[in-house]
Amino acid sequence: MRWCSSHLLALFILSMQSLSSSAWSKELFSPDNREIVSEGKALYQEQCASCHGKNLEGEPNWRRPNADMTMPAPPHNDTGHTWHHTDEVLFNLTKFGLAKYLNQPDYKSNMPAYEGVLTDDEIKAVLSFIKSSWSTTMREHQDHLNSQ
Ligand code: HEC
């Protein structure tokens, strides 16, 4: 039974992935484009640095929940887990916020949704800047996720 439900879940996830891959190109970011990365860097300092840190270092003790049980902002550098996610996931998280992305309207998070604040291209630029900061190993890992 246990095997069966996890198997079904895996099938569900796979079918969602193939659905989404037809709607999205897999590589959304341009970490090697200097112009886009420098635009993204400026936007990052303006919009994201107050929580995720000037140097992408995240909030102190970011793994421990706050008193109100929300989570602190994680780092966006190699020490965080941003590079564990595909371009598509990162884009959607930033555009729609966590509650909408997770489809859990009651999920309380301090991460804002940037829909209507930043354009799609601006969101991609910020995330291109973040990706450009990762070491080769993390970038290759994340490229591999995008290609699956
Ligand atoms: C007001 C604080 C705040 C600002 C400003 C902010 N974030 Fe966040 N962000 C958070 C918090 C808190 C989390 C963790 C959310 C949670 O677990 O509930 C988070 C999580 C994320 C995640 C998921 C990371 C992961 O590894 O799971 C991404 C991606 C992200 N933020 C991108 C951005 C970007 C890009 C900007 C700027 C355009 C930004 N954030 C601005 C607070 C903020």
pLDDT digits (tens, 9 = 90+) for 35-74: 999 999 999 999 999 999 999 999 999 999 999 999 999 9
Question: Greatest CA span in the chain, whole angstroms?
Answer: 53
Contacts of 132 (CB under 8 A, 6+ apart): 31, 32, 37, 40
Instruction: Confirm whether pTM is higher than 0.75.
Output: yes
Contacts of 81 (CB under 8 A, 6+ apart): 74
Q: How far is the CA of 73 from the centre of ligand 1 (A)?
A: 6
Q: Is the minimum distance from the CB of 52 to ligand 1 under 6 angstroms?
A: yes
Q: Is the pLDDT of residue 2 over 90?
A: no
The Cα-based distances of 13 to 18, 20, 90, 104 in angstroms read 9, 10, 17, 17
Domain boundaries, the chain: 29-147
Amino acid 28 reads: L
Token pair of 53 as six digits: 């840190």
What value does the mean pLDDT take over residues 6-30?
Answer: 58
**pLDDT single digits (tens) 111-146:** 999 999 999 999 999 999 999 999 999 999 999 999
What value does the mean pLDDT take over residues 13-32?
Answer: 64
Residue 148: pLDDT band (50, 70, 90) is confident
Q: Is the pLDDT of residue 6 over 70?
A: no
Distance CA 94, CA 92 (A): 5
Q: Is the minimum distance from the CB of 97 to ligand 1 under 6 angstroms?
A: no
Count the helices and strands in the chain (H runs, E runs).
6, 0
Q: Does the domain at residues 29-147 carry the CATH identifier 1.10.3720.10?
A: no
Q: Is the minimum distance from the CB of 56 to ligand 1 under 6 angstroms?
A: no
**pLDDT single digits (tens) 27-43:** 999 999 999 999 999 99
Instruction: Tell me how many degrees the CA angle 35-37-40 measures, rounded to the nearest 5.
Output: 110
